[in-house]
Amino acid sequence: MNKYKDIHTKWLAEELQKIGHVLFKTVRNKRNPDYEVYVFRNTFKFDKDLTEINKKVEFSAE
């Protein structure tokens, strides 16, 4: 498991922060300098929460 996880969407980074994950840092997106990449520590709980958020989004889109 990688030590850090990059999140490329602001809404997802905000959702992760709402449930208690601490933003490690932000960096400029190399492909599109107008945007930021949100970097979080990658833990088992982080991975689980990220999966749950993505499942909710997929479910609500159907």
pLDDT tens-digit map of 26-55: 999 999 999 999 999 999 999 999 999 999
Residue 62 has pLDDT above 70, yes or no: no
Q: What is the pLDDT of residue 36?
A: 97
Q: Rounded CA gap, 13 and 38, in Å?
A: 7
Handedness of CA 50, 51, 53, 54 (dihedral sign): positive
CB atoms under 10 Å from CB of 60, counted, come to: 7
Q: Rounded CA gap, 36 and 51, in Å?
A: 21
Closest CA to 52 of 13, 9, 22, 16: 16
**pTM, to two decimals:** 0.88
Question: What percent of the chain lies above the pLDDT cut of 70?
Answer: 98
